[in-house]
Amino acid sequence: MREKNIVVLISGRGSNMEAIVRACRQEAWPARVAAVISNRPEAAGLAFARAQGIEAQGLDHRAHTSREAFDAALIQAIDTHAPDLVVLAGFMRILTPAFCAHYAGRLLNIHPSLLPAFPGLHTHERALQAGCRLAGASVHFVTAELDHGPIVAQAMVPVLDGDSADQLAARVLALEHQMYPRAVRWFVEDKLQIDGHRVRQLDGASQLWS
Ligand code: GAR
Q: Residue ranges per domain, the chain?
A: 1-103, 111-210
Give CA–CA dist 152/183, Å, rounded: 7
Q: Is 15 in the pocket of ligand 1 (CB under 6 A)?
A: yes
Ligand 1 centroid – CA 103 distance (Å): 20
User: Is the pLDDT score of 1 beyond 90?
Assistant: no
Ligand 1 centroid – CA 198 distance (Å): 23
User: Is the pLDDT score of 155 beyond 90?
Assistant: yes
DSSP 113: S
* Surface-to-core class of residue 57, CB atoms within 10 Å of its CB (0-12 exposed, 13-18 middle, 19+ buried): middle
Q: Is 110 in the pocket of ligand 1 (CB under 6 A)?
A: yes
Mutate to test the pocket of ligand 1, among 16, 39, 167 (most ligand atoms within 8 A of CB): 16
- The pTM assigned to this predicted structure is 0.98
DSSP 95: P
* Surface-to-core class of residue 195, CB atoms within 10 Å of its CB (0-12 exposed, 13-18 middle, 19+ buried): exposed
Ligand 1 centroid – CA 12 distance (Å): 9
User: Is the pLDDT score of 8 beyond 90?
Assistant: yes
32's enclosing H/E stretch is: strand 31-38
Of residues 102, 111, 124, 140, which has the active-site annotation? 111
For residue 159, what pLDDT band results from cuts at 50, 70 and 90?
A: very high
Q: Is-contact 165 145, C-beta < 8 A? A: no
Q: Whose CA is nearest to atom 14 of ligand 1?
A: 111
Ligand 1 centroid – CA 192 distance (Å): 23
Instruction: List beta partners, residue 198.
Output: 151, 195
- Residue 31: other Cβ atoms inside 10 A: 21
Q: Is-contact 96 160, C-beta < 8 A? A: no
Q: Is-contact 95 142, C-beta < 8 A? A: yes
Q: What is the mean pLDDT of the chain?
A: 98
Instruction: State pLDDT tens for residues 78-106.
Output: 999 999 999 999 999 999 999 999 999 99
Helices (H), the chain: 15-26, 44-51, 67-79, 97-102, 123-129, 165-188
Give CA–CA dist 100/5, Å, rounded: 18
Q: Is 64 considered catalytic here?
A: no
Ligand 1 centroid – CA 1 distance (Å): 30
111-210 shares the fold of 1-103: yes
Cis amide bond preceding 116, omega within 30: yes
Q: Which atom of ligand 1 is nearest to the CA of 15?
A: 17
As a CATH number, domain 1-103 is 3.40.50.170
Q: Whose CA is nearest to atom 7 of ligand 1?
A: 90
Instruction: List beta partners, residue 51.
Output: none
For residue 167, what pLDDT band results from cuts at 50, 70 and 90?
A: very high
Cα 62 → chain centroid: 22
Instruction: State pLDDT tens for residues 30-68.
Output: 999 999 999 999 999 999 999 999 999 999 999 999 999
| End-to-end C-alpha distance for the chain, whole angstroms | 31
At 136 the pLDDT is 98
User: Is the pLDDT score of 21 beyond 90?
Assistant: yes
Q: Which atom of ligand 1 is nearest to the CA of 111?
A: 4
DSSP 62: G
Q: Which CATH superfamily is domain 111-210 in?
A: Formyl transferase, N-terminal domain (3.40.50.170)
